[in-house]
């Protein structure tokens, strides 16, 4: 198993001596989806932002494909919890925005964006503005934008927490297809146990204050099941139960 991203001995202390992460090491296999799961305040978003280069760790290092991370780079793309779309730009420009910032010429980037808009199922909404779309559709735009820049690593910060439950389930199914189709490494932050078990190849359970890796789980046979069979699989149910058992004492 080839490792795409690895974090070694990461510590993060915020001003005022608030310790968010202590000596955290994790490895993310290439082409797989790893979830960072834990109760709120366990530093999972902090870890994701350190991997993205938005935050600097107090100590320790992050490597992507063996190269140390010093800041945001073209090898990683981010999907935001609140979508972070430009409200004054239409869907086409929003999806192409990552490419626009990289200086890709208009016609070329619009072609690429068009393709990804189609892939996420937003055909026909190219000229719509974010405020005209539902929450779920907005996140599809955010996803298409991240896919359009062709990064190897996709960082997703609770991407489905701001959409309604039905849309969320559809997203989870689509995400499984995406992991299978694209040879990308996904790092997925969530606070939903069911979601983590459903979509992940590997689940890292983080515990808070200060945050550390409590356990790494690798559901073995769920990937071979159909999208609608996973939730009835005994392994799925057992894993969910086991995670809840180890987390429940940390929930107020």
Partner 1 sequence: MFIKGIRLPGMSSLIIWGLLWELVGQSGLTFFLPPLSEILITLYEIGDSPAFLKALKETAQAFTVGVSAAILIGIPVGILMGKNRLLDELLLPWVNIFLSAPLTALVPVLMVLFGFGMRSIIITTSLFAIWIIILNSRAGVLQINRSLVEMGRCFGATPLAAFVKIYFWAALPEILGGVRIGIIRAVKGVIIGQLLISLVGFGALFELYSANFLMSHFWAVLIVLFALAFTISELLATLERKFSYYAANR
The footprint of partner 1 (CB under 8 A) covers: 49, 52-54, 71-74, 76-78, 80-84, 86-88, 97-98, 100-102, 129-131, 145, 149
Please check whether residue 76 is in contact with residue 151, taking contact to mean a CB–CB distance below 8 angstroms: yes
Please state the closest distance from residue 81 (CB atom) to partner 1, in A: 7
DSSP H or E run through 8: strand 3-14
Please state the closest distance from residue 239 (CB atom) to partner 1, in A: 31
Nearer to partner 1, 120 or 155 (CB): 155
Strands 67-68 and 59-64 come out as antiparallel
Please state the closest distance from residue 32 (CB atom) to partner 1, in A: 22
Nearer to partner 1, 112 or 205 (CB): 112
Burial of 2 (0-12, 13-18, 19+ CB in 10 A): exposed
Please state the closest distance from residue 1 (CB atom) to partner 1, in A: 27
Please state the closest distance from residue 146 (CB atom) to partner 1, in A: 9
Please state the closest distance from residue 71 (CB atom) to partner 1, in A: 8
Tokens of 230: 């996973």
Please state the closest distance from residue 112 (CB atom) to partner 1, in A: 14
């Amino acid at each position: 198993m080839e490792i795409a991203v690895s974090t070694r001995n990461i510590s993060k202390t915020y001003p005022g001596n608030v310790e968010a992460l202590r000596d955290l090491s994790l490895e993310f296999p290439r082409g797989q989806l790893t979830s960072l799961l834990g109760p709120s305040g366990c530093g999972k978003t902090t870890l994701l932002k350190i991997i993205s280069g938005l935050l600097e760790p107090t100590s320790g290092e992050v490597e992507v494909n063996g190269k140390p991370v010093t800041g945001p780079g073209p090898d990683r793309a981010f999907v935001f919890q609140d979508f972070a779309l430009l409200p004054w730009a239409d869907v086409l420009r929003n999806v192409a925005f990552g490419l626009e910032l990289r200086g890709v010429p208009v016609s070329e980037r619009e072609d690429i964006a068009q393709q990804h808009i189609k892939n996420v199922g937003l055909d026909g909404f190219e000229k719509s503005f974010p405020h005209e779309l539902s929450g779920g559709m907005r996140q599809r735009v955010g996803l298409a934008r991240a896919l359009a820049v062709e990064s190897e690593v996709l960082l997703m910060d609770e991407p489905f927490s701001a959409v309604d439950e039905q849309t969320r389930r559809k997203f989870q199914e689509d995400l499984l297809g995406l992991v299978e189709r694209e040879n990308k490494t996904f790092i997925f932050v969530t606070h939903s146990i069911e979601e983590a078990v459903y979509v992940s190849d590997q689940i890292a359970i983080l515990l808070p204050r200060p945050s550390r890796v409590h356990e790494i789980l690798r559901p073995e046979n769920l990937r071979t099941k159909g999208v609608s069979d996973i939730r009835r699989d005994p392994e799925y149910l057992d894993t969910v139960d086991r995670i809840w058992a180890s987390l429940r004492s940390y929930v107020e």
